[in-house]
Structure 1
Amino acid sequence: MNTADLAFAPRHDLGIRTVSVSAPGRLHLGFLDPSGSLGRAFGSLGVVIDGFTTELELSASPSEADQLAADTPAAEAELPRAAAHVAALRQRSGCHAPLSLRLGQVLPPHAGFGSGTQLASAIGRAYAEWHGLDVGTATLAHWLGRGLRSGIGIAGFDTGGLLLDGGPAADGLPAPLLSRIAFPEDWRIIVVQDPGHRGLSGGAEKQAIAALPPLPQSVAADICHQVLMRVLPGAASEEFAPFAAGINRMQQLLGEHFAPAQGGVFTSLAVARLMRWFADASRANGAAIGQSSWGPTGFAIVPSETRAQLLVDAARAGGHVDPALEIRIVTGRNRGAVVRDRSVPPRAR
């Protein structure tokens, strides 16, 4: 069990049934065709990661009204959105029993980890489990307004791994999952956060996308070729060099396309400087470097724990890490959310 699974210790009376959910974060590695040059827009590549989770528990309310609580200031900020999700689930399901919902921890918001989708999916899954509803994660996400562009977080909630989706359907349903490959166990991901910045989201994100010129079909074709013939085969066969080359080319093309909307290839200048240093320091051994979604979170995927630690140590020793940045070395996660019900053994989705 990962230490992140232990960070959230459910606190409930043993006489009260409680459903808890631990939902993993993900990195969005890029869109295939955000402009829909062939009629179907977006399509996403992403990887689920360990070390970043949304944790919550749901039980019966001790009163006739819902009881919502949070363990941290970040989780408390998400309580209005959590209440809205519960209200939407009631409207869809017709189940109206008052509930107690506690948010233990949440993913960093608007930072490239899929915080909104994981919060919605975790609440939806806990709600469905509590009421005995046979509803899939994609349907729950649709009920709660998630998956309008990317389906990576929705699929990742169920399966983990390196994921490719085909873009949302015309009817608004979340994107179909096209490929799921286990992320190689030896590879490591250096995650670089800049807590002082936030990526675009909501209306600002829609406006930014609408203001950009269409991505040329030739560029979208190049991205699709990189994913199909480098990234996915590289991961499937644990060949790091083609995987890294494909990710780097994809990130270059998308970074240049989105630069006018986000102030550069990277949203955070401090992250950009460190990513450039990682790239220069990795020329001999290779690294897949980029930004997750609108950032500001950057990542460097390398072939081993040793290589990851050497890079981070060298960056710190050389004074290349801005004091505002936070760095963690994590693994890819090849399992989805964990749902626990005190009346049944734990089960991993």
Structure 2
Amino acid sequence: MVRRRSFLLGASALPLVGAGLAGPLDAGRLAADYWMRTMSSGGNDWHDATLHSGVMALYKATQDTRYRDYTLAWANRHNFALRSSSSNPHFADHQAAGQAYLDLYEDNPEPRRRAAIVREIDATIATGRVDYWWWCDALHMAMPIFARLGKAEYGDRLYRWSRQRLWNNNLGLWWRDSRFVNRNIYWSRGNGWVLAALAKVLEVLPQTSPYRAGYLADFRAMAAALARVQRADGFWNVNLGDPNNYPGPETSGTAFFTYGLAWGVRRGVLNDATYRPVAMKGWDGMLRLALQTTGRLGYVQGVGQQPSDHQPVGRNDTTNFGVGAFLLAASEVGRL
């Protein structure tokens, strides 16, 4: 019990001590149950797709079928279909639901659970285009799906196109899109999307994959950059390049970073002594400030694309994708 308690609380007396939480998965349950109790499970675009990716991670970590059934009801309501746009075909945001659909397929391999996402990815590849991922968020929305469906070669072509344009190799961070290139604006959640994407892809790529070494190098470069700019309270600012640009705690980027770093430590691709403290500091910070005793997760920046969006970010600001990111972090920290 002492060891589990240290993962959750560190050495500090947190507001959630009185809630009876014994470990990270309890914190994940608290946040998930609050959302399931008070909010809609919503549509099948990237917002709820990210939520349900986190819910399914919590299901896998706890084996509590309530979480799987919640996501299954959502997927059934949408008939395991994807959103589409005639003016913007093969848009990564519209493919994101495929991650939760594939989780459900792995739980019960009914063909209909993966049919729509298989058709969509095959149709994307058939176009021969590699310029679909023009903003860094897209890597999280779609890249893990390519890897999971055995289409890593084409996914790598898409990744390389994005990386060539949006990756700052000197800093180990990503610009959100072409408007920010060569500006000192490295949006926290944008980089969080990428770190989470790399963790999810590396989780499923074979050790013999020719793409693995490149992804690991980028993952490690990001981890080193993130360790350098973590706040004293465990969070990361919305602008990783400038701590004075809308400073303050922000949960969605912090949760994705915590998830990715914890995954890297657990999988042995990041040095334990260096990065476990960084991941746990992020986790403890979210419990101290963001997760309320009711289960509401605060300090989540709303839908946006840069540090200035939805400012100021407050204690009660929450979103479905922020909760999804937190559930990914809880599930991964719980496995350490």
Q: Calculate the TM-score normalised by the size of structure 2.
A: 0.28
Please identify the structure whose Cα radius of gyration is greater: 1
Higher strand share: 1
Higher helix share: 2
